[in-house]
Structure formats: C-alpha cells, structure tokens
Structure 1
Amino acid sequence: MRLYISAFLACCSLSAFAGPEPVPGDPAAMKTQLQNYYFDAARRGDVEMLDTFIEAGYALDTQDEKGYTALILAAYHGQGPAVERLLAAGADACAQDKRGNTALMGAIFKGEVTIARRLLATDCNPDQRNGAGQTAAMYAGLFKRVELLDVLARKGADLNAEDPLGNSATRLASGEIHTAAPR
C-alpha cells in the first residue's frame, strides 16, 4: 500500500488534475481515495504512511467533508506519535473543522491529556472559539479535565469567558451548566 501511494504521489500532483490524466481512472475518485488513505493513516497512527505523504509534499491541512484534518483525527483518536509527526511537519494546530472545533478540543473531549498538553505548546490562541462559542477551556471544564485548566490559564486562556448560554470554564468545572430553554 505504501509503495502504491508513494508511486502515485511521485508521478502526479493533486493540483495537476486539470491537465491530461497522469494515471488511468477517474482523477476525482483517485483524489478521494488518496485523501481517505491519508485520513485513515492519521486515525490509526500510521506514522510510516504519514511520512510517505509528508515526503511527497502532500497538503497536510487537507480537510475531509466534515472539515477534519489529519491532525484533528490523530488527536481525537489518541495517536500521539502521529500528532507529533504532523506538527513537526508543519500541520496547522489551529485549524478548525466545519463546526469550529480544533484538534485541542477533540483531544480534551476524548481525555487525551498528553496530546492536549502537546497541542497547548503550539502558537494557537487559547481562547479560540468553535461555532457554538465554546473554547478549549470550556471543554476542559465540562469534561472535568481540571489538570488542563491550569495549563490553559498559564497559556492565557480566560477561564471566565462565556459562551452564548453563559457557560464559562470555571462554572462548567464546578458542575454549573447552562442549557438552552426547550422550544
């Protein structure tokens, strides 16, 4: 499989699909298949396969239909070595999926504290918000990852910032949760 992907990446650029077909088959289907291999490698933590993509100059921040990047998937699935390799290769730790969630938010949600700590060492804004107005600190409070609240605060996160419902990391950590009124 790695040899197939290496050969495919070596013979053609995904941005060159507008020209003559470099290999037989449907270029859009091949691009999709290649992306699937890339995202599956991130989910499984297959660093060797990720290296194949990295060495070929593959766009590390490519997103799937939900906006997930390989880094978001690796963090969410607890693949620490894959997270480290993607970050070292230049993957954007601040990238957001279509709901605005980041790799850090996914790691916190899944309880991947070591990965979350590594992501906190990047240059992302600690108060970056998702589409619902929530921050990583709010996730840490909600999911009782209190060991991360101090790290987030040292990084500059505002533990008293509120989402549109009035939730803050501090309130969530104490068990106070505001929800929308039923319709």
Structure 2
Amino acid sequence: MATDAGLDPRLVECAHACFDLAREGDAERLGAMLDRGVPVDLTDPSGNTLLMLAAYHGQAGVVSVLLERGADVNRLNDRGQSPIAGAVFKGEDTVVWLLMDAGADLDLGSPSARETALLFGRGELIS
C-alpha cells in the first residue's frame, strides 16, 4: 500500500485497522480479518508488514497468528529492517523465539538481528 490516493476509502480504513490490531495485540480480530481475505503480508507506506509491527511491539499472540497463516518471516521493510531485528532491539524474547522457530534469518537486513543483539548486549536472545 504505497499510497492511499485513489483507493477505496473502505479498503484504506480496513488496512489501518489491521495495522492497529497488529500493534495492539488483538490476535483474534486480526485473525478473523485475515481469514476474510486481508493479505497476511499487507504493508504500510514504509514497507512494514503486519508481522514487523507485531514483532516490534512484542505481540507474541499476533505473531503466532500471522506465522500460522504464512507470513513472510524474512520480509524487510523499506529501511532494510527485519521483524526479528526489531524484536531483538526491543528485547522481546518470546517473539524472537517464535520468529527463530519459523526460520527467521539472523543475518538478514541492516542491521541484522545478530548485529542488533551484539550492539545492545542481547546475544543470549539469539544463541
């Protein structure tokens, strides 16, 4: 979703609601919206996916729902950041473990999750 211009306002409202649900941790409502056809890898204007937002905000339940529905665990945002690097930066242990179990690449992105862990003294999260 690069821009809202020219899009059906109802679709824009739905997308904004999904991003809010991902950030706020409402896994049940977001899951229902995904089941009704919202793309699991929906992105905001900065390239952040629902998974990126949920991971960064420590929403393990939402992360699980997204992973169960096939979210791309290694998709980078427009700044080259990965969901797992955001979770490492925020110290979200459970989210980091969920993403690692789903195959997140610790060396993907800039800075990578591995670099972020070393930079912020959180190496135990990825070991």
The runs of 5 or more residues in structure 1 that have no matched partner are: 1-25, 151-183
Q: In structure 2, how many angstroms separate the alpha carbons of the residues matched to 1:138 and 1:27?
A: 39
Cα offsets for 1:53-100 (capped at 9, x unmatched): 121121110110111111111111111111111101111111111101
Taking the aligned partners of 2:7 and 2:106, their CA distance within structure 1 comes to 39
Cα distance in 2 for partners of 1:141, 1:129 equals 15
Q: Which of 103, 108, 112 does residue 128 from structure 1 map onto?
A: 108
The answer to whether structure 1 residue 139 and structure 2 residue 95 are counterparts is no
The aligned residue for residue 14 of structure 2 is 34
Question: What SS class does the counterpart of residue 90 from structure 1 fall into?
Answer: coil
The residue number in structure 2 matching 1:99 is 79
Gaps of 5+ in 2: 1-5
Match of 1:155 in 2: none
Q: CA deviation at 1:114?
A: 1.4
1:92 and 1:52 map into 2 onto residues whose CA distance is 19
CA RMSD, Structure 1 to Structure 2 (Å) = 1.4
Q: Which residue of 2 aligns with 1:6?
A: none
Following the alignment from structure 1 to structure 2, what is the Cα–Cα distance between the partners of residues 40 and 149?
Answer: 28
Runs of 4+ in 1 over 3 A off after TM superposition: none
Counting matched residue pairs gives 122
1:141·1:149 contact (CA, 8 Å) conserved in 2? no
Which whole-Å CA distance do the structure 1 matches of 2:126 and 2:70 have between them?
26
State the distance in 2 between where 1:116 and 1:95 align.
15
2:32 aligned residue: 52
Quote the offset at 1:27 in angstroms: 4.6
CA distances 1:125-161 after superposition (whole Å, capped 9, x unpaired): 332123xxx21100001111121242xxxxxxxxxxx
Taking the TM superposition and a 5 Å limit, the aligned residue runs for 1:156-171 are none
C-alpha separation in 2, matches of 1:125 and 1:98: 17
* Aligned match for 1:70, one of 47, 50, 54: 50
**Does the 8 Å CA contact 2:85/2:113 hold for their aligned counterparts?**
yes
Q: Which one has more relative contact order, counting CA pairs under 8 Å at least 6 apart?
A: 2
Match of 2:61 in 1: 81
1:161 is aligned to none
Distance in 1 between residues matched to 2:104 and 2:55, nearest whole Å:
15
Matched residue, 1:116: 96
Identity score, percent: 37
Q: CA–CA distance in 2 between the matches of 1:61 and 1:86?
A: 9
